[in-house]
């Protein structure tokens, strides 16, 4: 790895993360990474994830505020399923708070971890649809 004039503050990144109650798992496994890295990173970035989704809703003129709660969930589900730009933006918001070691592990298991990360992010967003509607 080339030398960089910037030092990534991995310990500072870890200190920012909230604690998340999780089942103990081997840290060097995908399940361990899910509990020790993905869930705390998602919790840390929660407000930003919701703000980004809200902006996509506004930019794409999705009528969430006028829709019934069941339709709000359906509209958000469709947006999350169709919009690859939104998907990769949200994934980037999470991977951007990884340490270098976590990112190296993520690179080795990218496909599986992206699938799990996306499932967790979608669930988090859909569970907070009311907050997105209120902010939009």
Tell me whether residue 1 is in a domain: no
User: What is the pLDDT, as a whole number, of residue 24?
Assistant: 62
Q: Tell me, yes or no, whether 15 lies in a domain.
A: no
As given in the structure block, the two tokens for residue 92 are 């980037």
- Residue 23 resides in a domain: no
In a domain, 11, yes or no: no
Domain hosting residue 103, numbered range: 28-135
**Cβ 127 vs Cβ 90: under 8 Å:** no
User: Residue 120, Cβ neighbours under 10 Å: how many?
Assistant: 17
Q: What is the largest CA-CA distance in the chain?
A: 54
Task: Give a yes or no: residue 12 inside a domain.
Answer: no
Is there a domain that residue 91 lies in? yes
Q: Is the pLDDT score of 5 beyond 60?
A: yes
**Domain tally, the chain:** 1
Question: In this structure, is residue 105 part of a structural domain?
Answer: yes
Number of neighbouring beta carbons within 10 Å of residue 99:
16
Average pLDDT, the chain: 89
CA dihedral 65, 117, 8, 24 (to 10 degrees): 120
pLDDT tens digits for range 105-125: 999 999 999 999 999 999 999
Q: How far apart are CA 136 and CA 118, in angstroms?
A: 22
In a domain, 18, yes or no: no
Predicted model pTM: 0.83
């Amino acid at each position: 790895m080339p030398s960089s004039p910037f030092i990534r503050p991995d310990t500072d990144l870890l200190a920012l993360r909230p604690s998340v109650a999780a089942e103990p798992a081997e840290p060097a496994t995908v399940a361990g990474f899910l509990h020790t890295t993905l869930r705390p990173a998602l919790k840390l970035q929660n407000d930003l994830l919701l703000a980004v989704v809200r902006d996509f809703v506004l930019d794409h003129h999705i009528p969430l505020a006028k829709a019934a709660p069941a339709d709000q969930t359906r509209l958000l589900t469709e947006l999350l399923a169709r919009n690859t730009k939104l998907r990769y933006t949200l994934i980037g918001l999470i991977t951007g708070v990884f340490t270098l070691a976590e990112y190296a592990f993520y690179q080795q298991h990218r496909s599986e971890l992206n699938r799990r990360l996306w499932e967790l992010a979608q669930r988090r967003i859909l569970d907070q649809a009311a907050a997105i509607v209120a902010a939009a």
